[in-house]
Copies of this chain bind each other. A is one copy, B any other.
Amino acid sequence: MPTDAGEADDLLAALLPRLSQISTAVTRGKLDERAMAAAGVALERPAMTVLTVLHVAGEPLRVGEIATRMQVVGPHVTRQLNALEARHLVQRVTDPDDSRARLVELTSEGRDLATRYLGVLFGWFTEALADWSPQDRRTLTGLLARFADDLTAHLARFAD
């Protein structure tokens, strides 16, 4: 009997709406906007993303590398950088190893801002998980990591 397949389907049918729910809670709840407000930041969201990428990287990155990590296209990053540099949150310097390229680095002001923003976001997730046992937290993190990897690997066949 196809019990296993049926059960797997049911579980999957339950899984997808949950992913959608999380995505909705974050995207439509405008978490990033609210976190920016809470951190006292007035910036467009993609610009904040650039700052976040640089902060997480912990080192200066090339324009193309930022675009890759943001999964967007070069010109989009350039536009954000123009705004960010005008506000002294990042700085573009020519890459000493290749003068075609530019290295983008956070200014101290940019770093502070990113730290505040991420701190707020982080705090909210921490609070949401406050009642969880360490064991459950570990299990969720582990399974979610595996799921993310399996999904990424499986969908990689679509790469052009």
**Residues of A near any B CB (own CB < 8 A):** 4, 7-9, 11-16, 18-19, 21-26, 28-31, 34, 71, 121-122, 124-129, 131-132, 134, 136-141, 143-148, 150-155, 158
How many monomers of this chain does the complex have?
Answer: 2
Q: How far is the CB of A9 from chain B (nearest CB, A)?
A: 7
Q: Which residues of B contact A22 (CB under 8 A)?
A: 19, 144, 147-148, 151
- Beyond A8-B137, A128-B150, A129-B150, 12 additional contacts (C-beta under 8 Å) are A8-B129, A11-B134, A11-B137, A12-B126, A12-B137, A15-B137, A16-B121, A25-B155, A28-B71, A128-B151, A136-B146, A143-B143
- Which of the residues B18, B24, B126, B145 comes within 8 Å of A144, measured between beta carbons? B18
Do most interface residues of chain A lie in helix, strand or loop, or is the interface mixed?
A: helix
Q: A29-B158, A154-B124 are in contact. Are A18 and B145 (CB under 8 A)?
A: yes
